[in-house]
Amino acid sequence: DAGVIQSPRHEVTEMGQEVTLRCKPISGHNSLFWYRQTMMRGLELLIYFNNNVPIDDSGMPEDRFSAKMPNASFSTLKIQPSEPRDSAVYFCASSLAWGGRDTQYFGPGTRLTVL
Amino acid sequence: AQSVAQPEDQVNVAEGNPLTVKCTYSVSGNPYLFWYVQYPNRGLQFLLKYITGDNLVKGSYGFEAEFNKSQTSFHLKKPSALVSDSALYFCAVSSGSSNTGKLIFGQGTTLQVKP
């Protein structure tokens, strides 16, 4: 079992540039979650999908952030334009099914630095 | 609204001694409770969860947690700490009444086990 796969693991970019983070969930999992982790705010849920459909994007900080899930095995989180305050570790997680009972399994994260 | 409190930023124990990491929660309906561990520069790793049934839940690496409904707590315990247990621990809750996969995380507790 390969687990949740995220790429890139590290990203350094300059303010104003577009950043795309990628996630491959565990095969067979139907729910996918994007989180952001910072020292100040801890772990925040940004958006989550069920069966490739976005269910709740209320955690997305602003319109500069967008997420897609074109199929069951791939999701992207895009920031355009990026700002220094977006610097954080971004995690993707997946779970087998919808509902709070199922364990979410996390990827290794993408450490984003915006200069 | 759902919330999780981890009242201690850091817990220090000596190797071989028992450890407890505290967690209290607030949720409407029945809670689903989770513990995760995060090692430096890694993603969150699932330890254990309580969904229903026996209040004492056993998980990975010798950890266990006790669900206490009257005290709305879900403390993480281990009878004998190892230096390798040193990491950041997160408690999380979702609500059985909301029927979503949305997890709310605590701020995390750093466990330091000294030889």
Q: Tens digit of pLDDT for each residue in B15-62?
A: 999 999 999 999 888 899 999 999 988 899 999 999 999 999 999 999
CB contact under 8 A, A100 and B46: no
Is the confidence at residue A99, as pLDDT, over 90? no
Distance CA B17, CA B15 (A): 6
Distance CA A113, CA A97 (A): 33
Predicted confidence (pLDDT) per residue in A33-83, tens digit: 999 999 888 999 999 999 999 998 989 988 999 999 999 999 999 999 999
Q: Which residue among A100, A103, A108 sits closest to B95, beta carbon to beta carbon? A: A100
Q: A92 Cβ partners below 8 Å, 6+ apart? A: A4, A6, A21, A23, A25, A32, A33, A34, A35, A75, A77, A106, A107
The amino acid at residue B3 is S
CA distance B95 to chain A (A): 7
B50: nearest CA in chain A? A101
The amino acid at residue A25 is P
A39: nearest CA in chain B? B107
Pairing type for strands B10-14 and B109-114 reads: parallel
